[in-house]
Homo-oligomer: A and B are copies of this chain.
Amino acid sequence: MSVNSNPYAPSPNDLLSNVGNFLLIESTLREGEQFANAFFSTEKKIEIAKALDDFGVDYIELTSPVASEQSRSDCEAICKLGLKAKILTHIRCHMDDARVAVETGVDGVDVVIGTSKFLREYSHGKDMNYIAKSAIEVIEFVKSKGLEIRFSSEDSFRSDIVDLLNIYKTVDKIGVNRVGIADTVGCANPRQVYELVRTLKSVVSCDIECHFHDDTGCAIGNAYSALEAGARLIDVSVLGIGERNGITSLGGLMARMIVSAPDYVKSKYKLHKLRDLENLVADAVHVNLPFNNPITGFCAFTHKAGIHAKAILANPSTYEILNPEDFGMKRYIHFANRLTGWNAIKSRVEQLNLSLSDDQVKEVTSKIKQIGDVRQLSIEDVDTIIKDYHSEQ
C-alpha cells in the first residue's frame, strides 16, 4: 500500500499508469443498444449523442451500420451533428462490414473478432491465421480511407495468451491506432487484468482500450486496474447498459476516477450533468436508477448511524470520499430512526431554529430513539417530537 499525502493518487509503482490521463469510449448507442430493453428511435439516439458530447466523452461508439438499414442511416445522421466527440462504429472483422462503415462519415472504426476457443469453434469457426489475414485486410483498408482503426479480440480472458500477443503484435506493426481487450463474458478479476494489460503494453506501441462486462461485479475495479497497468481508453455506457447485466458504467467509473485523479476528471467532464444523462437513458430504456447506483442512487450521500452522523457534521470527509457538490448532489443526514444520535438531532434542532441545551437534546434524542424502536419514523414525526419537547421546556 502506498501511504503518501493522497493515498488514492496513482501508485508511484505503476510507471505506465494512465489513471490521470484516460479517455472514455462511450458505448450507450452500441453496447447499450444490446441491452434487453433498449429500442432507440433516431431522435432519441441524437438526443443521447448530444448529451454525451456535452458531458465531455472522448468517443461515441455506434451500432454497426450493417445491423439494419436504420442503424446505418442513424449512424450517418449522428456523424453530421458536428459533435466534439469522435464518432466510431463497431463492426465484425470483415471487408463487407468495413466497406459500409467507412462510407457513413465516422471518424473511426472499431473492429472485433472472437479469439477464444469457444468463439472460434461456435461463432465464426475460423483459425488464428484466418483472423490475422482478415484483420490486416480490414485495417489497411480503413487506414487507406484516413480513418482511425481499433482491432480488438473478443473474450480475451479465455483466449490463448500466445495467440493474443501474436495477433496484437501483428496489427500494431501495420499501424492500428489501438488494440482492444474485451472481457466479453465478465469473468476477469482486477489483478488478472493488470497482468494482461501490462504484458500487452510490453508488446505493442499503440494505445490499449479495455471493455469489461459486469457479470461478476468487477467491471469498475477491472477498468481501474487496466488504467493502472497502462491502458488508455475504457469503454463505458450510461448506467452500464449492455448485453446481459452490462458493462462498466459511466457514473461508476467517474466515482472511481475522481477519487484518484480529481483535477483531471473535474476539468474534463461536466459531472453535474451526470444525473440528467442517467435519467435520460433510464427513461429511454424503461428502467429505474438502481437504488444503490454510485453517486446518483437515492442514498449515495445519506448518513444514518448516529456515530456517522456525528462525524459528518463535524467534517464531511470523515465518512465521505466523494463530495456530493462535485456532482450537483446534496448530502443528507438521516436522523429519523432508532440508530440516530444526539449530534444529528442537535443539528436538526438548529435547522428548526429552536434552542435546547445539550442535555435537553440528549433527552429528546432518547425519546426519539424509543419511538423509533416501535415504528418507522418520518422527518415530520421527529420534528413534532422536538417541537413538543421544546414547548414543554
Contact = CB atoms under 8 A, between A and B. Distances in A.
A37 interface: yes
A39 B337 CA distance: 8
Contact of A319 (B161, B185, B249, B334): B185
Interface string A163-187: 0000000000000000000001111
Interface in A275-314: 287-288, 290-294, 297-308, 310-311, 314
Contacts of A195: 1-2
A360 interface: no
A307 B119 CA distance: 10
Interface in A15-46: 33-37, 39
A291 B286 CA distance: 10
A217 B255 contact: yes
Given A215-B255, A305-B34, A7 B157 contact: yes
A271 to B, nearest CB: 14
A36 B334 contact: yes
A237 to B, nearest CB: 11
Given A123-B310, A217-B252, A255-B216, A243 B191 contact: no
A373 B68 contact: yes
A214 interface: yes
A384 B186 CA distance: 35
A1 B161 contact: yes
Given A123-B307, A158-B7, A339-B68, A190 B191 contact: yes
B245 A299 contact: yes
Nearest to A372: B68
B338 A70 contact: yes
Nearest to A375: B39
Nearest to A197: B1
Given A7-B157, A7-B158, A318-B123, A292 B185 contact: no
B321 A215 contact: yes
A225 B192 CA distance: 10
Contact of A119 (B119, B255, B318, B321): B318
B224 A189 contact: yes
B2 A239 contact: no
Nearest to A258: B216
A263 interface: no
Interface in A110-126: 114, 118-119, 121-123
A376 interface: yes
Contacts of A288: 288, 291
Contact of A214 (B11, B294, B318, B375): B294
Contact of A303 (B33, B37, B243, B338): B243
A70 B374 contact: yes
A220 interface: yes
A218 B256 contact: yes
Contacts of A319: 184-185, 243-244
Contact of A222 (B37, B221, B334): B221
A319 B245 CA distance: 12
B189 A71 contact: no
B299 A37 contact: yes
Closest 9 A-B residue pairs measured CB to CB? A221-B221, A290-B290, A217-B220, A190-B190, A70-B373, A217-B252, A39-B376, A122-B314, A36-B299
Given A39-B376, A288-B288, 14 more contacts: A1-B196, A34-B304, A34-B305, A68-B339, A68-B369, A68-B372, A122-B314, A189-B224, A190-B221, A216-B259, A217-B249, A220-B221, A221-B225, A243-B305
